Amino acid sequence: MTSPDSLFSGTTVLGVPRPGGPGLLERHTVSRIGYGAMQLERLHGDRAAALTVLRRAVQLGVDHVDTAQFYGDGVVNGFLREALHPDDGVVVVSKVGADPNPGGPIPMRPAQRPDELRASVEDNLRSLGVEQIPVVNLRRLDAGPGLRAEGDQVVDLDDQLAAMTAMRDEGLIGALGLSSVTLAGLRRALPAGIVCVQNAYSLVARDDEDMLDLCVTEEIAWVPFFPLGSAFPGMPKVTAEPAVQGAARALGCSPSQVGLAWLLRRAPNLLLIPGTADLDHLEANIAAGAVALDDATLASLDIVPSRSAGATLG
Ligand SMILES: NC(=O)c1ccc[n+]([C@@H]2O[C@H](COP(=O)([O-])OP(=O)(O)OC[C@H]3O[C@@H](n4cnc5c(N)ncnc54)[C@H](OP(=O)(O)O)[C@@H]3O)[C@@H](O)[C@H]2O)c1
């Protein structure tokens, strides 16, 4: 949790300058460059390496971490529990709407019913070792890459919001976000008090510009997943884009840093959660907050076409 001292502060509670500057996630001031923990699944056999990545992120000013119970069937949440201390002031954001599916063709399965949403919040509370999760995203299956709901997993959004707001009233979750949602779904959910939206979005995957604009207007944080295009082979990669590579050469930074710097410039409510299990990549991603894109470079990146249509996971 963020202490009142750090509100609107340019440094984290540990006194580290905020990479990317300060941003707002509901009532929490966080660094605009955060961290997505999904890639830590790969380190399930190397706990020490996973903890080192998380500690380094905090030391470098990250105080917003995205996770899920279905990342390594609770393993990643266990890493967070061990690595992050209450005094670090890290806002942990988890998601429900899917459950672990160990041994399955993909490691997650839909879990959209209201009773499953509650069970998933309880699983997250246990594995994270906390009494309240600061923000929980309701992970719908409506938009973007990945699973779609079938059978009893097709659940009315209002029924899910009722379950989520009840858990917020009980104090199990601090605030409510949405993920993989449509523009119509977001509009419908606004009265429930949505603090963030997490859809797939990057320089090369820009299907949701209208939703991003609505989030700017409604002062909702836009926290794109796949900000670099993900680790999945079927998805368009930001670093493969010639304009991005050209900008990186001209600026003396890496293509990943150009992609992240472009996102930071795209909108003031945009918070980054790039995923990595690699310490050098982590440091590079955090340093992207210092990459200045001049107007000409920005213009060359703005005209890169969205390549997400037809892209599939894997
Ligand atoms: N709401 C949802 O449904 C949802 C879905 C997917 C993901 N997420 C969240 O969003 C976060 C970000 O998405 P993501 O991790 O899937 O994709 P991403 O951040 O777009 O890309 C991750 C990939 O980029 C590589 N990478 C990262 N930094 C790099 C750098 N500086 N140079 C070169 N390669 C780099 C990583 O490999 P290395 O590990 O080798 O660096 C990994 O292969 C996830 O970690 C997760 O927390 C949410």
The mean pLDDT value for 128-140 works out to: 98
Asked if pLDDT for residue 314 goes beyond 80, the answer is: no
Res. 1 pLDDT band, cuts 50 70 90: very low
The mean pLDDT value for 277-294 works out to: 98
Whether the model clears a pTM of 0.85, i.e. scores above it, the answer is yes
Show the tokens assigned to 30.
């966080």
- CA torsion sign for 64, 53, 36, 47 is negative
Asked if pLDDT for residue 115 goes beyond 90, the answer is: yes
Nearest residue to 35 (alpha-carbon basis) of 12, 58, 17, 69:
58
Residues serving a catalytic function are 71
The mean pLDDT value for 206-220 works out to: 97
What is the per-residue pLDDT across 56-65, written as a single tens digit (0 to 9) for each? 999 999 999 9
Ligand 1 — pocket residues by CB below 6 A?
36-39, 66, 95, 139, 179-180, 198, 225-231, 256, 273-278, 281, 284-285
Beta bridge partner(s), residue 177: 137, 196
The mean pLDDT value for 290-304 works out to: 97
CA dist 236 and 240 (Å) reads 8
**Atom 48 in ligand 1: residue holding the nearest Cα:** 225
Spacing, Cα 208 to ligand 1 middle (Å): 19
Per-residue confidence (pLDDT) for residue 105, from 0 to 100: 81
- Residue with more model confidence, 241 or 106: 241
Res. 263 pLDDT band, cuts 50 70 90: very high
**Atom 30 in ligand 1: residue holding the nearest Cα:** 281
What is the per-residue pLDDT across 172-190, written as a single tens digit (0 to 9) for each? 999 999 999 999 999 999 9
Per-residue confidence (pLDDT) for residue 2, from 0 to 100: 42
The mean pLDDT value for 100-108 works out to: 87
What is the per-residue pLDDT across 140-171, written as a single tens digit (0 to 9) for each? 999 988 889 999 999 999 999 999 999 999 99
Asked whether 46 and 77 are in contact (CB, 8 A), the reply is no
